[in-house]
Amino acid sequence: MNSTYLNIAFVMYFLATVFYCVGLFFRNKFLPLLGRVFILSGVLSLTLYAAMRWQVAGRPPLSNMFESLVIFAWAIGLVLLFIDLRYKIKSVSGLTALLGLLSLGYASFLDKELTPLLPALKSNWLTIHVLTCFIGYAGLTVGFIASAVILFKQKEIAKLDTIAHKVIAFGFLFLTLGIITGAVWANSAWGTYWSWDPKETWSLVTWFIYAIYLHIRFTKGWKEQKAAWLAVIGFLAMLFTYFGVNYLLSGLHSYG
Amino acid sequence: MLIKQAKIWKFISSLKLAIWLLGIIALVSLIGTLIPQNEEEVSVYQSWWFILLIILFALNLSACLLSRLSLKNRPLGTLICHFSVLVILLGALIGMLFGQKGYLKLSRQEKANSFMASESKEVNLGFSIRLDDFIYNENIDPKEKLLIYSIQNDAVCQMDGASHKNGEEGLIAKIPTDPGTEREISATGYKIKVLRYLPDFVMDIATKKVTSRSSQANNPAIEVELRDKNGARESFWVFARYPDIHQSKTPNFNFVYHWEMRRPKDFISRVTIIKDGLEVLKKEIRVNFPLQFGGYSFFQSSYDPENLNWTGLTVVRDPGVSLVYLGFGLFILGLCIRFYINPFFKTLKK
């Protein structure tokens, strides 16, 4: 399959990262604007790439690690566009674009071969489950970035804290949708909606950490730095749910 | 005494306890994934103390809800969210107490009217299920082909046959290996058809009967039928691992079977439900497409790659599922109200 659009997207994410980051050091309106244009082009290229792959393979391109990384980068770009339009914080936008770029970079090392779906994945739940999970992951990732910036910056902390809270609430909603669609799918494929498989358990652990994050902001009034540390821990758990479970633990969910 | 009770109630209904319980359950679950689990041993998640933790959590959550049951300072979305967690846990409890789950192994034409829900507990279905057929399909990689080389009638070429096979020289056709379709061998007047595929070819020397020893690709082979201009047919086997021993009597061609790894495509159990002596339902059970009948669901769960004559079905009856799903729906609704619908109306008011 032709990977032109994937390569274009890689270049776009790279340029977006560069322009956002250069924009940090110069008071120039056009640098972040260009960053936004590049990230939009990157998201569009990835959309085209995924659509082509879907057409060629005759199935949604959501079935292995390579395809999931592409979708992850796509979802990150999408959330980034919203955050950038609304809050215009160059450091958050730049670092988010960088993470999207890293996801595409990692994908480029993996096997791009088109393989037919395993019987377990042949279901309409595949698309909705994977999309909700990865939109959730993308939200939590941007939440992590905003929180990490809080830990290193002295300015604009209140605004960053609002971004982190809102985007984590968004990510939490989609993570919940991802877990629920996964449970409903598991019930229609295997007859159990929950079997404490490592992927399921780790997604629940991640979910618990973010549930604590959302509660502790009210009860203990944890905001800014303290809440930011919890968002970092939640992000690490999310990364383990995504990568660690596949590479280090074995289970039902061995496809990506 | 009253002060003490009030203190206990305050503790049980506190968010502090909720956060601690969430953290402890998360930590224990996490550890549970790291320790290797044996099939025989009771897992962390089924142990009494883990279930106790969840019960404590449910109590804490109920107390939280009861003590803050006013719409004034608790937004509706939050209430729905927390209530729905209780609904999910209740559904899970009902499943644990009244649900049945077991395994049914059926050979072709075998009937069963009960299944084993545990080692000693047999559950009567109230009807019978019969396996009519089990079908296992594989995906053929598009790169898999039968290569056909023409052999010129000079001795040098014959001797040099091995080098022909590796190159494109003499290659006259690349035939897909899906069985049943007759295809022309480019302008030679000959036609060829793949009859069948065996992943692990073996021939009984005494009876000359050909079978597949297993479904592992130890010795992939295809049987092909060649038809010449006059309609005379011959059939023979071509082996992926042994390119030089096909038994074609036609001197014109050399055959090379370029095999590619095949992946499972479908496991299908064709079953019939028999109730009161009548065949009431015929259906295919596939992964992701269970059969539901009489309150039970049948899931395609296993098969034996070495012996495709039987199928393994998981049988489940879970009266708690609808409550769990209701809880799922409510939770999402609650989150949407809390994070998006409420703030939207607040901004409208302003």
What are the tens digits of pLDDT across the range B259-272? 988 888 888 999 99
The answer to whether the Cβ–Cβ distance between B324 and A193 falls below 8 Å is: yes
In this structure, the answer to whether residues A95 and A142 fall within a common structural domain is: no
Domain of residue A35, residue span: 1-111
Indicate whether A107 and A136 sit together in one domain.
no
Which chain A residues are Cβ-neighbours of B263 within 8 angstroms?
115-116, 118
Q: What is the pLDDT of residue B159?
A: 43
pLDDT surpassing 60 at residue B162: no
Same domain, A174 and A255: yes
Residue A127 located in a structural domain: no
Spell out which residues of chain B touch residue A189, defining contact as CB-CB under 8 Å. Answer: 287-288, 299
Which one has a higher pLDDT value, B140 or B91? Answer: B91
Residue A122 lies in a domain: no
CB contacts of A245 in chain B (<8 Å) are 33
Mean local confidence (pLDDT), B85-97: 95
Which pLDDT belongs to residue B164?
A: 46
| pLDDT value of residue B156 | 40
Residues A178 and A244 in one domain: yes
pLDDT single digits (tens) A168-188? 999 999 999 999 999 999 999
Same domain, A71 and A106: yes
pLDDT at B1: 61
Which of A81, A111, A141 is a domain's end point? A111
Three-state SS for chain B is CHHHHHHHHHHHCCHHHHHHHHHHHHHHHHHHHHCCCCCCCCCHHHCHHHHHHHHHHHHHHHHHHHHCCCCCCCCHHHHHHHHHHHHHHHHHHHHHHHCEEEEEEEECCCEEEEEECCCCCEEEEEEEEEEEEEEEEEECCCCCEEEEEECCCCHHHHHCHHHHHHCCCCEEEEEECCCCCEEECCCCCCEEEEEEEECEEEECCCCCCEEECCCCCCECEEEEEEECCCCCEEEEEEECCCCCCCCCCCCCEEEEEECCCCEEEEEEEEEEEEECCEEEEEEEEECCECEEECCEEEEEEEEECCEEEEEEEEEEECCCHHHHHHHHHHHHHHHHHHHHHHHHHHHHHC
Q: Are residues A107 and A137 in the same domain?
A: no
Q: Are residues A175 and A237 in the same domain?
A: yes
Residue B161: pLDDT band by 50, 70, 90 thresholds?
Answer: very low
- pLDDT (average), residues B241-257: 80
A-B C-beta contacts closer than 8 Å? 99
Closest by Cβ to B332, choosing from A176, A189, A198: A176
Per the structure, the count of domains in chain A is 2
Provide the pairing of β-strand B201-203 with B191-198. unpaired
If asked whether residues A92 and A189 sit together in one domain, one would say: no
CB contact under 8 A, B264 and A180: no
State chain A's mean pLDDT as an integer: 92
Tell me which chain A residues have a C-beta less than 8 angstroms from the C-beta of B331: 176, 180
Q: Mean of the pLDDT values across residues B179-190?
A: 85
Q: pLDDT at position B246, please?
A: 66
| pLDDT above 90 for A7 | yes
**Is there a contact between A208 and B23 if contact means CB atoms under 8 Å apart?**
yes
User: Which has more pLDDT, B238 or B169?
Assistant: B238
pLDDT digits (tens, 9 = 90+) for B335-346: 999 999 888 888
- Do both A46 and A140 map to the same domain? no
Q: Do A29 and A89 share a domain, yes or no?
A: yes
Average pLDDT score over residue span A198-218: 93
Using an 8 Å Cβ cutoff, are B175 and B148 in contact? yes
Residue A123 lies in a domain: no
Asked if B328 lies within 8 A of A180 by C-beta distance, the reply is: yes
Compute the average pLDDT of residues B315-319.
94
Res B151 pLDDT > 50: yes
CB contact under 8 A, A189 and B263: no
Nearest CA in chain B to A201: B29
- Residue A121 in domain: no
Q: Which residues of B touch A191 (CB under 8 A)?
A: 101, 290, 297, 299, 301, 314-316, 318
pLDDT at A53: 94
Judgement on whether residues A137 and A232 belong to the same structural domain of the protein: yes
Considering the domain boundaries, does residue A117 fall inside one?
A: no
Using the predicted structure, report yes or no on whether residue B42 has a pLDDT greater than 70: no
Residue in chain A lying closest to B268 (CA): A119
Residue A199 counted as domain residue: yes
Q: Closest to B288 (Cβ–Cβ): which among A123, A192, A196?
A: A123
The CA distance from B103 to B120, in Å, is 13
The pLDDT of A117-130, averaged and rounded, is 90
Q: Is residue A245 part of a domain?
A: yes
Of A116, A176, A205, Cβ closest to residue B263: A116
Burial letters for A90-125: b for 16+ Cβ neighbours within 10 Å, e otherwise? bbbbbbbbbbbbbbbeebeeeeeebebbebbbbbeb
Is the pLDDT at B143 greater than 90? The verdict is no
pLDDT in the model for residue B158: 43
Which chain A residues are closer than 8 Å to B43 by Cβ? 196
CB contact under 8 A, B26 and A205: yes
pLDDT at residue A218 tops 90:
no
Interval A25-60: pLDDT, tens: 888 888 889 999 999 999 999 999 999 999 998 899
Shortest CA distance from A120: residue in chain B: B287
Q: How far is A114 from chain B (nearest CA, A)?
A: 10
ipTM of this complex prediction, to 2 decimal places: 0.93
Percent of chain B with pLDDT over 70: 91
Region B7-28: mean pLDDT is 89
Contact B33 A119 (CB under 8 A): no
Answer whether B287 sits within 8 Å of A191, measured CB to CB.
Answer: no
- Chain A residue with CA closest to B338: the answer is A169
Domain end call among A58, A76, A111: A111
Higher pLDDT, B139 or A239: A239
Q: Both A191 and A81 in a single domain?
A: no
Which residues of chain A lie closer than 8 angstroms to B339, CB-CB? Answer: 169-170, 173
In a domain, A143, yes or no: yes
